Structure 1
């Protein structure tokens, strides 16, 4: 099928996400290998966003494809109350590699479902109803997780279920809690403690955080924040839930982002990198005291494809590739290269406001003037950002341009040479936004 035929039929008969259907311009993809994707006509794109920040091992890895085919031949499906060999192996694998006493896992099909189940588990375990989350967060597209989410994708889903309370991030969009990281941590936690007082700590089951804020900024927590947050929540018996759907499985240069803060969440949610998107799978991980509670209390949750054998086979192989091929270490090693490239571009281009990265988890902000005003408004676009998006596509770089920023999240198998190749395209792209800069 040609690329044009793919686009025409997909637009005619399917719905695309988060978009007005007459405005979408799908990219036809016929195959993918390593860090590259190809159209049916052979046009190559460097995947600078791991598609949805979700293919850390790269595309088309043979070990994962072979494992999935083998599982289909052995056992393609088993109902959720069945015990299977692959379910046993993957549960043990995760218990071995996840730090601390997170030893028990509930398998589902997405990050949103993992977060849905974390909400449910927290409420059942604590007997409390309210859930805290942050305004710059994204936690999924179900009704509950959209209301857990802080960003504008929440708005069309309101009014939603009760009990969701939003708080400011340590680094809000405009307001500043302080110039230094120490100030941001101290002032934000003081503010959060007051919110907890107003809401009634005895009513709050848990607080959700993206350990590193994802699509809304790629914002690593300031120094001391995770430890301070952990202590504050512990003081009030509030669970800490780390959403590592995006940041987990090596993206930040550690297997899980919470390891950078030397803390352990009560509940951990994961997806994306769990299978490197070769099959849909999410998981909720529970610390031992919570898992023990459900030994003698019903866990009120389930779905037809819980612990699906083929998805678990993909996870077993993808996680093994990530570890065996040293991809977490590669992300940590190449952080300095990404940082160097971002600093070089910021010094060269007046339209580049800032670049942030931790491991191979990065974002660049684009500004329209010296006052730092974003090139596009919050939840909006602009002529300059539209031109940048077109330039990237015309020059074979696939990434997400969102509001006044764009993503820098390649597969973790990328080499230094390939990473610099990507930033060479970014360099030329910023020449485009420089023309929209109001000197």
Structure 2
């Protein structure tokens, strides 16, 4: 059996970690996990308010999902994508059944970045155009085109990578780039800005508009009423493919199968990963409209992956979706947002001068922290080192009480598993409430 010292030694000697300066990190060794919790080797228990990377929607070690993977492994571990496979077809059918009515095909990938990469490729081939519009406050993955489409600072050190991506401003009512006074104005002005961008970039050059239905890591920005319908209308008007990135927002996270369902909008392509099987095995994909699928009826799609629709991964997706349905997880996530997280965060916001805004839906919420009444962020955009100290202190206060938070820039995201109990959720929110007194100490009024 591995010991903490051996795990730590092997990690530091041989594991190269993503997004990190290798000599400046000291990853915490984790021994086990169950439900909404995980444990380190000292036996310390943490309530997972991050769902790892906002992907453990079904919770850790769900016994039915583990059993499904074991059953599939005993039957057939792998078969290449050119063959038909029972679980691959079943997973694709089940995903299509919960997607908007005109999306009936699924291309499987190993994760979200590959999903966005291939969705962009499909859009370009379908339209014969090359440009892709995406927002500044976004993350779409770390592969070549996906990182170029990303708007946040992770793009900067990777440039130049791909061509043809143009960024625009999406709606953000709390920090409106359009100086809006309410959500209606924000929606209208954001759509006018997008229209202007299309016109000045040349509609005939634009293959796709790629947006996160609900922006994830970059703020949990819920689109104001009318915005997504307006994007759909602009895409229809100019012959542009609408790609909804639901890698983080999909599969229960927003209290819906797909977040677009909340607004009754049907994109041309939906990208997914994370929550489809809670990351028990690497899996992502693109749900494809009938019109775009028809483009490739007699024309080969020039893309593929050795592990596309890997039997173990898609078997876990089948089991996951069955569990979602039979255990009412979508409905539970919606209830948690409406009846627990929303009301409790409103109470917390009223108590703490450091809380500038709370927003979200389902089990997908952000607490935005400020240092004064002018809404100045508690830490600067993309803060690092000493500049990030206030947020690091808040995160440390959470961890000290057994809560593992998701922290990004000046925000704490409340994103526990969609299966979390009301009692565990309230316990976590109480710890967050206490930790925010640390944030309050940095405010200036």
- Alignment TM class, shorter chain as reference: over 0.9
The DSSP-based 3-state class of the residue aligned with 1:296 is coil
Mapping of 1:356-435 within 5 angstroms? 356-381=359-384, 382-435=388-441
Mapping of 1:19-168 within 5 angstroms? 19-168=20-169
CA-to-partner distance for each residue in 1:75-122, whole Å, 9 max, x for gaps? 111111011111121121112221211110101100000000001000
In the superposition, the TM-score normalised over structure 1's length comes to 0.98
Mapping of 1:177-256 within 5 angstroms? 177-256=179-258
CA-to-partner distance for each residue in 1:332-385, whole Å, 9 max, x for gaps? 111131111111111111111111121110111111122111111000142211
In the superposition, the TM-score normalised over structure 2's length comes to 0.96
Report how far residue 40 of structure 1 moved. 2.0
Mapping of 1:254-273 within 5 angstroms? 254-273=256-275
Which runs of 5 or more residues in structure 2 are unaligned?
Answer: none
Mapping of 1:300-339 within 5 angstroms? 300-336=302-338, 337-339=340-342
Aligned residues: 439
Report how far residue 177 of structure 1 moved. 4.2
Q: 1:280 aligns with which of 272, 279, 282?
A: 282
Report how far residue 47 of structure 1 moved. 0.4
CA-atom RMSD in angstroms: 1.2
C-alpha distance in structure 1 between counterparts of 2:8 and 2:20, whole Å: 15
CA-to-partner distance for each residue in 1:222-247, whole Å, 9 max, x for gaps? 11101111111110000100000000
Question: Contact (CA 8 Å) 2:406, 2:415: kept in 1 or not?
Answer: no
Question: Contact (CA 8 Å) 1:109, 1:306: kept in 2 or not?
Answer: yes
Question: Contact (CA 8 Å) 1:2, 1:41: kept in 2 or not?
Answer: no
Question: Contact (CA 8 Å) 2:176, 2:186: kept in 1 or not?
Answer: no
The DSSP-based 3-state class of the residue aligned with 1:11 is helix
| Structure 1 match to 2:349 | 346
CA-to-partner distance for each residue in 1:177-224, whole Å, 9 max, x for gaps? 412111011111111111111111011011000000000000110111
CA-to-partner distance for each residue in 1:231-275, whole Å, 9 max, x for gaps? 111100001000000000011111111111111000010000111
C-alpha distance in structure 1 between counterparts of 2:359 and 2:3, whole Å: 38
Which runs of 5 or more residues in structure 1 are unaligned?
Answer: none
Question: Contact (CA 8 Å) 1:364, 1:408: kept in 2 or not?
Answer: yes
Report how far residue 174 of structure 1 moved. 6.1
C-alpha distance in structure 2 between counterparts of 1:437 and 1:3, whole Å: 39
The DSSP-based 3-state class of the residue aligned with 1:45 is strand
Report how far residue 434 of structure 1 moved. 1.2
Which range moves more in the overlay, 165-174 or 207-216?
A: 165-174
C-alpha distance in structure 2 between counterparts of 1:12 and 1:177, whole Å: 51
Do the aligned partners of residues 404 and 4 (structure 1) sit closer, same or farther apart at CA in structure 2, a change above 3 Å counting? farther
CA-to-partner distance for each residue in 1:417-437, whole Å, 9 max, x for gaps? 111100111011001111111
Which range moves more in the overlay, 4-13 or 189-198?
A: 4-13
Which range moves more in the overlay, 426-435 or 166-175?
A: 166-175
